[in-house]
Structure 1
Amino acid sequence: MSVSEFLLLQFIAHLCLDYFFQTDKLAKQKNAIGFKSPFLYWHALTCFILSWLFSLQLSFVLGAAIIAITHFLMDGFKHHLNNSKLFGRYAYFIDQAGHLVIMVIVVLLFKKWYGIEPSIEVSLNLTYLLIITAYLVCLKPANIFIKEVFKATEIQVSSDNEMPNAGKVIGVLERILTLTFIIVSQYSAVGFLIAAKSILRYRPDETLKTEYVLIGTMLSFGIAVIAGIIINLS
């Protein structure tokens, strides 16, 4: 098993833990009251079990424990981050980045000190793992990510039919997607993108709805495109 495959397995464990093994109601409770949430303790235990299970090796018990404990601490203190005037709207991204950084550090240190030697002989393929990861990301995680982008950029319905910062977000997404298509020589996709924008061209009385849909569509499409490119380059 390579370190890339090991990291992907740990990332799949994280996706299952934070997106599929907890309901929105329980996640909101955990984020609102932190260490007072009974679910947080079950969440941490599940984190340990999944991390250890997806490592495919008994010797990773300490690494799984470190990932679970740090996950527990970050989630426990997250409600303070949510209430921060400066960083509150970015709490989701900070929290997820923190979990991923810890995961990478633990895996790399484990590889250096113990080596990656699975206790169970399983034939793994990096491309297949990437495909599984990509499909998982495109389900619930992508929905939550898009919602948090709207929250972070303060895109919301207003009484005068305006969406602050919507134009900036659309412009950035257009450039990122267009550049991505060009890099992979998918020029026809650039034409599709332009055509899609033309179809969604709005009348003055439809600005709010059209921009909202366009941002969400481009974010969603972008996630799938980037994931597909990573797979093709593997």
Structure 2
Amino acid sequence: MAFSLLLVALIIVHLLADFYWQPMSWVNDRNTRHFKAKKLYFHVLVHGITSAIILTLWEYTFGWQQLSTVLLATAVIMLSHYFIDIAKSYSNKGVVPFLLDQIAHIAVIIALCIYITDNQSLIAYVSALATNPKVLWVVCGYLIILSPSAVFIRMMLERLTANFSSEGSLALAGQSIGMIERVLMLSFILLDQFAGLGFLLAAKSVFRFGDLSASKDKKLTEYVMLGTLLSVSVTLFIGLGVNYLIR
């Protein structure tokens, strides 16, 4: 309980300091001036002060009441946040750098919580998950329905709809929608929530009905139907197979 309490408290503080208490002007200053940005130091200081408050409350309630632990953990959070944000400021500001930035911050927080609480049970739990065949089969299922399935569906569509052009649509939009769709469908299948699967397909049909009914191109309708049916078939096959292997 003590580990979970410290972890969730520090994550909440991180989210508040990173997304609610950081004005956009601070972000722009960091992205343009990098390590020379004064606002970056203000941002790091906000993280340090709020984290120190949480760490102090935890240490003197559940810990060994050692001020040195609070100071060390606060210093690690501030220094790691500074260097991670500096690295991000030199990136292309896309989705991947954003995700890597947040993963790095959370990883530091988790490592600190393990160190402060001396929680060896968490390490044992993670190790057990990493060597659990059921967990690995689920991971394998999600990996298959993403890139490999996208390649298979694209090849099948190219074979079945030769010379058809999807001109006018956003680049990679169909592939991205398909991946998200298959992730949701596989999640519903693994949770035995087939009603959710039906709702997802119905919702997609409603959104696409206007486009297809307004289109005079029969090929577009056939293309969308083929893509949807292939996506559903592949995901059902993979999902039912994973369900069989983990039960």
TM-score bin, normalised by smaller chain: 0.5 to 0.7
State whether residues 10 and 103 of structure 1, in contact with CA within 8 Å, keep that contact through their aligned partners in structure 2.
yes
Larger radius of gyration: 2
Counterparts of 1:34 and 1:73 in 2: how far apart (Å)?
10
Distance 1:33 1:161, change over 3 A: farther
Structure 2 residue aligned with 1:77: 87
Structure 2 residue aligned with 1:190: 197
Residues 1-234 of structure 1 correspond to what in structure 2 (within 5 A)? 1-55=1-55, 56-58=57-59, 59=67, 60-82=70-92, 90-112=96-118, 161-201=168-208, 202-203=211-212, 204=215
Q: Amino acid of the residue matched to residue 109 of structure 1?
A: Y
1:89 CA displacement: 5.6
The higher-RCO structure (CA 8 Å, 6+ apart) is: 1
Deviations 1:120-160 (A, max 9, x none): xxxxxxxxxxxxxxxxxxxxxxxxxxxxxxxxxxxxxxxx6
Alpha-carbon RMSD: 2.6
Counterparts of 2:110 and 2:180 in 1: how far apart (Å)?
28
Q: Amino acid of the residue matched to residue 118 of structure 2?
A: K
Counterparts of 2:95 and 2:14 in 1: how far apart (Å)?
22
Q: Percent identity?
A: 31
Deviations 1:6-43 (A, max 9, x none): 21111111110111111223222222321121111110
Counterparts of 1:8 and 1:89 in 2: how far apart (Å)?
24
Q: Amino acid of the residue matched to residue 87 of structure 2?
A: F
> Structure 1 length as normaliser, TM-score?
0.60
Gaps (5+ residues) in structure 1?
114-159, 208-234
1:73 CA displacement: 1.6
Counterparts of 1:8 and 1:180 in 2: how far apart (Å)?
25
Distance 1:28 1:106, change over 3 A: same
State whether residues 44 and 71 of structure 1, in contact with CA within 8 Å, keep that contact through their aligned partners in structure 2.
yes
Gaps (5+ residues) in structure 2?
60-66, 120-166, 221-247
Return structure 1 stretches of 4+ with deviation > 3 angstroms.
Answer: none
> Structure 2 length as normaliser, TM-score?
0.57
1:67 CA displacement: 0.7
